Structure 1
């Protein structure tokens, strides 16, 4: 490694972290990206809705991003951050390798962990034919028999979105039934509500074949939609006084996230967040945009700090503009008096 102190340490090498690191490296900042190798979208086969990179495998996109960052002088390190704390006028970051690095600013882009409903067979199919987002995976299951599992406040919304992609959509009431008004909306779109608790997913060979109810009934389905609870990866920020809070969307708690302003600045000066760690609903392209915005904000903040420091040095130096004028006046006066 070139240095143990960096302008910016970026924690997390997904689309948000790498985009922020790229903007900073191109601004000639010393940047270290630290990544634990646990991307949220690892189970997914491809990235979608990323203009110019449609259908790119997530691992390939991350590899391309790493190469771009290092191509501009940034560094990428595979390690896990154990803790972060303030130190002097910056921050100290401790890694599981035993190494400690210092930074003037931090960009946290560690993403989130999807907490899935506890149903037999569900976790094993996650990212394949157990899905959560119509925009991320909807095209891939178009015209198939789709079931939406009502495990959260977004279930009716999900069912209506997936109905745009298939005429065969059912909503499994599971542990809660939709409100009467929602049932009417679903019926108007031809979405049947299946009452009763879900017991497990049925898999034949390597294909999802249906949903088994607690009653024993099997409802044939080829894809299942769930709403996971995304939990921000933020435990290591406790030493900075930062922690994840409930993320509320349309009046309902959907998960946890680290609070920040629209530009990613947190309540701790010098610490920014970007991507799913603060916005669990952001898709890959949105996380990348947020990372870029945070990287630009960090660079601007450093520029302002460096300008203040340079101005202070200029004002207190031996030859400030005012001192030079005073010296010139004294020299001119001495010459007039023949000295």
Structure 2
């Protein structure tokens, strides 16, 4: 950190944070990105559906973004933020914030942008974590094309499993729904699965079969192995919200199809939180956002922050002029 106070400190150096940093640096703001180096998509081999960067490896995309932000004067440092607090001042939005890193060092900012993302909490089945992002998947738009026409399994742990199976059927005609711990499908759902040729296997899944460092099958508790080359799961999306919680913001549950799929921090359309001077963008606020959407959210939040700073700069200038 080259200075002790910045216009904006960004907590999190993924697509949303770096996009915000690029936008703010181009707006001639002093900006610092503090990145813990734990990108959610690190296990994935490529980023998809990012126009102009299709199939770019995640690490390469971040390296490009860091270089672009730094090229306009943005600073990026490695570190983990422990908490943030508002500094005392005459006006709530003019007082700024102190950001505290693990280890005790601090830095101050007029505004904060938090882009810490989320954590994918996987079902407790042995072997899932080791194959996560490779053959254990959750998003067909991220990975469907790469496993098209292969034998795909869907692990049921909640009421969304039938929806997942029918969705993934778009990419393969060999889809099997493993009942596992999920609810039994309704008669209407059984009819839908049968009409689309989706097999249903009863019994709990006890693990995965791997051969030559590739998923080969799904093992049931009774010992039977069903050959599969990909397994779809429903992860729980938990926002990395500790920094925002230290400022008094509370994560809320998000439901889909009657099931809680995770937690997020509410914001307005441009990322402003309920705490004046604090914005958030990316997966910490929108659990199902893809990389290109997170980058767009970072841009929108940065533009809103710059506008807010312009308003403050103008108020300060007017007050100074009136004082003569």
- For Structure 1 versus Structure 2, the TM-score category normalised by the shorter chain is over 0.9
Matched residue, 2:126: 120
Tell me the distance in 2 between the aligned counterparts of 1:180 and 1:269.
Answer: 50
Q: Secondary structure at the match of 1:193?
A: strand
Q: CA deviation at 1:197?
A: 1.0
The residue that corresponds to 1:157 in the other structure is 163
- Cross-structure match for 1:227: 234
Q: Quick check: 1:42–1:58 contact (8 Å CA) kept in 2?
A: yes
Are the equivalent residues in 2 in contact too, given 1:235–1:243 (CA < 8 A)?
no
Return the offset for 1:245: 1.7
**Residue 104 of structure 1 pairs with residue 110 of structure 2:** yes
Separation in 2, partners of 1:27, 1:153? 46
1:174 Cα offset (Å): 0.6
Structure 1 partner of 2:144: 138
- Runs of at least 4 residues of structure 1 off by over 3 A? none
Shift of 1:205: 2.6
Matched, 1:295 2:302: yes
Cα deviation for residue 120 of structure 1 reads 1.1
Matches within 5 A, 1:166-245: 166-176=172-182, 177-245=184-252
Who wins on radius of gyration, i.e. which is larger? 1
Shift of 1:243: 2.8
Task: Tell me what 1:61 maps to.
Answer: 61
Gapped regions of structure 2 (runs ≥ 5) = 89-94
* Residue in structure 1 matched with residue 92 of structure 2 by the alignment: none
TM-score, length-scaled by structure 1: 0.91
Counting helix residues as a fraction of each chain, which structure ranks higher?
A: 1
The answer as to 2:304 corresponding to 1:283 is no
Q: Is the CA contact (8 Å cut-off) linking 1:91 and 1:103 kept in structure 2?
A: yes
Aligned residue in 2 for 1:332? none
1:218 positional shift: 1.3
Gaps of 5+ in 1: 319-339
- Asked if 2 retains the 8 angstrom alpha-carbon contact of 1:79 and 1:97, the reply is no
Map 1:39-118 → 2, pairs under 5 A: 39-88=39-88, 89-118=95-124
Q: 1:36 maps to which residue?
A: 36
What is the deviation of 1:201? 1.0
The aligned length equals 317
Instruction: Name the CA distance, whole Å, in 1 between partners of 2:84 and 2:264.
Output: 18
> Partners of 2:124 and 2:152 in 1: how far apart?
19
TM-score, with normalisation over the residues of structure 2? 0.95
Moved more, 56-65 or 245-254: 245-254
CA offset at residue 219 of structure 1? 0.9
